Amino acid sequence: MPDDGISYTVCAERLVSFTRKTCAAIRYTVTSSAPAGSTLSVKIVSGIDTTASNISAEEDPRVGAKFSSRPLIVDSSAAENGTLSFSAHTRNSGLPLYGTVIQSVSAGGKQVSPVKAETDGGPHEEYAFQLEPGESAVLVKFISYDISSAEDSIENAVSFARAGFMQAENEQREYLSRFWKTAYMHIDGNIEDEKAVNFNTFHLLQSAGKDGRSSIAAKGLTAEGYEGHYFWDSEAYACPVFTYIQPDIARALLAYRAHILPLAEERAAEMSLKGALYPWRTISGHETSAYYPAGTAQYHIDADIMFALNKYLTAAGYPPENSGQLTEKDICAMAVETARMWMSLGSFIPEKGGRFCINEVTGPDEYTACVDNNAYTNLMARENLRISIKIAEKYRAASDAEIAQWKKAADSMYIPFDESAGIYPQDDSFMAKADWDFALTPPENYPLLLHYHPLVIYRHRVLKQPDLVLAQFLLSGLFSRAEKIRNFLFYEKYTTGDSSLSHCIQCIAACESSDIPKAESYFNKTVRMDIEDINGNTADGIHTACMAGSWMAVVYGFAGFRDYGGSWSFNPQLPGTWRNLSFALRLSGMRLELYFTKERASYTLRAEDTQTDGGLKELTLTHRNIRFTLHDGETKEFDLRPAVKAVLFDLDGVITDTAELHFRAWKSLAEKYGLSFDRSISSRMSGRSRADSLDLMLAENNASWTQKQKDAAADEKNKIYVDSLSTLTPKDILPGIAKFIGALKEHGIKCVLASASRNAPLVLEKLGLSACFDAVADPSQLQKGKPEPDIYLKAAELSGEWYTDCVGIEDAQSGVDAIKKAGIRAVGVGRNLRGADILVSSTEELSLNVLAQETH
């Protein structure tokens, strides 16, 4: 309200056109609320501000450039009769920029002419008029920015103005209606989550290049953080989103990489490499990173690009030769030249058994730089080579001899693995570093990169983001679920979250670990990163990859979508507040509609807008472990409620009690070698493998044995134990177990043994129960014993049932922990078993009714 007490309202409408590449429009409406008999005096100054300067943040390398002078030089400007224009160029590179505004003002339904026109500070015009009570004034601006010529800028603005604001609205509405038909996510039960996810998706849409000559900047189009540059996350995070909701944009983003391939070849030559090395940070195609350990050393960008390309080709199909963007020639060139880069970067190293190694590289985690055999890099390089092999063989794009070398490198790629921990180390040196002291790091010292020298960070076990966890998500079919759970939990404790890219990947990993509350926590950090300014730096621009990550967290996380290896599967698990989730994906030119509640999953195929030339309009999918085919217009539903379809049994303490036999065998061994052994040590061996039990006994005696001595002693203990099994008979079955197993078989419920004992089949035979069990998990084939989940996940797999439809029964804490880590419901036999879903005091209490308690 102005000082004279006369009130008015201002309505501002803005749009940046999705259909007219260079154009935008603004409409301001001023309405007078003056009392009868009075008028509102209005002055409007409308123009183009050509004096805008860049932001500066000397202490933060992530923010804008440190220009000592204004980079945009204005060559000319004009303002005349509602037309404003300027011509400019950048100070150093000479890049041109032309701008035009066609503007008009009306008041009370009549056109108003400008009273003044000036060019100081940028072309602008001044309008002055009066409004009667209830009257409105409208300022409309049609804007065009162009880099080709001043004439094109003027022509585009004039054409847009002739179409009018209503036409601009209609064009925008029609475009967005088509986009949201697939892209919109409905989340019933949490409207804030729904709004936040779709807000992020919209920002992705307006930030993405669509012309095949531009990509998507780390900060979108919102501010100057990272100077508008593109990074590897354009392909690793944003491109997959568009692959499934707007494939033509994904295609354009990939066409940009094809467009800059010649510069990538120049960069490879500069780095003494063959083929093409894409820049880690760029706009034009030239490498602009000033810090090579966290920049150029990230060679993985080649693999990230090829992985995104392969995902697009698998989901959308190979483009026709005359498509204009991303032709078969482009695809072949990218495949061949990236493969050649990897072959010249890596080497077959005799000290690594002749394996193909890649040294002095940096993975996505920028807190670990210039290392040998970064697991993410090697895994993705292998994937790149295999993608290149497939493309080169399909199109005869390389010689048989060269392809054979690619195959040799891919097949012999060295992937670090730590057998004792059962995890994939991030690189060759990671496990030999000291842990970062998180307890003594104050909250204000995050992100670490702003408070500690890089060398301090590099020599510690600390992560900006967990790139091995990212690798096992992208290459999901190459890792067992047990490995994924173990790697996620191992790296989680070292991950600072200083990178906004980490939270969505950890959300997805938590979902795969069946820890939905933890997944929700990571999801909230992802989806609200910018809308709530969680990292306190949204003023520098949005986090586009993190915004893409919110879509990924829903689709790959809570919906459980997996797309590795050319097949598509789902394992939905909704967060607590969500009643249902619905969204759509574009697959093979068709729209797959998905609807999930906590009780059911629904899949519907719509092929009305596909171009299949009379071909089959169908998709083959997998719901959990059920493979099915959908035809056009067909819907299939599946029950998500947990059922009891398989029971996974421990052996000792659940089916029989061989603890005394084990105790005597260990006691005999200990006495032979002069070691102390009692029932306290024996009780802690429960659920452990033979090797782990021996290590425990040796540790209690401060004894250090060679591996050869351990192997011999373990075999000796086993022989003593096996000899004692001859005394077992069906009378040694624990009370109630025979009756319980009989009831399970009568109701068609499968029985699988999940024992750490390698003698379990022999024990079952002696007990007369072999025929009652559908399968026996072999502990010798597993990476880790209890309390790791390997054996229960294997038992569930052997049952042929999904793990949520299984129940595990254990009498030891390590066994219950293993069951729960596997995401399986646990029945504990005995007392004080933490985490068990059901506790019974003895095996006599086991029944179908007891199991049913947990299914409702």
Domain locations in the chain?
8-182, 246-459, 646-651+730-855, 659-727
Place of tokens 């290896």: 565
Residue 614 buriedness (CB in 10 A; 0-12 / 13-18 / 19+): exposed
Nearest Cα residue to 385 out of 484, 476, 310, 298: 310
Q: Which of the following is catalytic: 366, 788, 801, 810?
A: 366
SS3 192: helix
What CATH superfamily is the domain 8-182?
Glycoside hydrolase, family 65, N-terminal domain (2.70.98.40)
Question: Would you call the peptide bond into 787 cis, given omega within 30 degrees of 0 as the criterion?
Answer: yes
Over the chain (856 residues), the average pLDDT of each successive run of 10 is 71 96 96 87 93 70 65 92 95 92 94 93 94 94 95 96 96 97 97 97 96 94 89 96 96 97 98 98 94 94 98 81 78 98 98 97 97 98 98 96 98 96 97 97 95 96 97 97 97 96 97 97 96 90 96 98 95 97 96 97 84 68 97 97 96 90 92 93 85 93 94 92 90 96 97 92 95 94 93 97 97 95 96 93 95 66
Task: Give this prediction's pTM.
Answer: 0.92
Other Cβ atoms closer than 10 A to 508: 32
Q: Report the amino acid identity of residue 156.
A: N
User: What b/e sequence results for 297-307 when a residue is b if at least 16 CB atoms lie within 10 Å of its CB, and e otherwise?
Assistant: bbbbbbbbbbb
Pairing of the two strands 96-107 and 110-112? antiparallel
Domain topology for 646-651+730-855: Rossmann fold (3.40.50)
Residue 373 to residues 178, 430, 697, Cα–Cα distance (Å): 45, 10, 36
Contact between 660 and 725 under an 8 Å Cβ cutoff? The reply is no
Q: Which residues contact 511 (CB under 8 A, 6 or more apart)?
A: 519, 556, 557, 558, 560, 573
- The whole-angstrom separation of Cα 690 and Cα 718 is 8
- Tell me which architecture the domain covering 246-459 has in CATH: Alpha/alpha barrel (1.50)
Q: Report the amino acid identity of residue 22.
A: T
- The whole-angstrom separation of Cα 732 and Cα 746 is 23
How large is the angle between the packed helices 301-316 and 328-345, nearest 10 degrees? 150
Pairing of the two strands 580-587 and 569-570? unpaired
- The whole-angstrom separation of Cα 544 and Cα 286 is 22
DSSP letters spanning 265-306:
HHHHHHTT-SS----SSBSSSS---S-GGGTTT-TTHHHHHH
Place of tokens 């009769």: 81
Residue 621 to residues 6, 589, 618, 624, 805, Cα–Cα distance (Å): 65, 15, 10, 10, 20
Contact between 477 and 471 under an 8 Å Cβ cutoff? The reply is no
DSSP letters spanning 584-628:
EEEETTEEEEEEEESSEEEEEEE-TT---TT---EEEEEETTEEE
Residue 257 to residues 282, 302, 383, Cα–Cα distance (Å): 11, 10, 18
Could you tell me the two tokens for 101?
């505004």
Contact between 232 and 300 under an 8 Å Cβ cutoff? The reply is yes
For 659-727, CATH gives 1.10.150.240
Pairing of the two strands 806-810 and 646-649? parallel
Q: What is the pLDDT of residue 212?
A: 94
Per this entry, what is the length of the chain?
A: 856
Residue 683 buriedness (CB in 10 A; 0-12 / 13-18 / 19+): exposed
Contact between 225 and 540 under an 8 Å Cβ cutoff? The reply is yes
Pairing of the two strands 124-131 and 434-435? unpaired
Q: What is the pLDDT of residue 3?
A: 47
Q: What is the pLDDT of residue 612?
A: 47
- The whole-angstrom separation of Cα 66 and Cα 706 is 60
Q: What is the pLDDT of residue 169?
A: 96
SS3 672: helix
Quick check: is 845 catalytic? no
Q: What is the pLDDT of residue 831?
A: 87
DSSP letters spanning 500-541:
TTHHHHHHHHHHHTT-HHHHHHHHHHHHTTTTTTTTS-GGG-
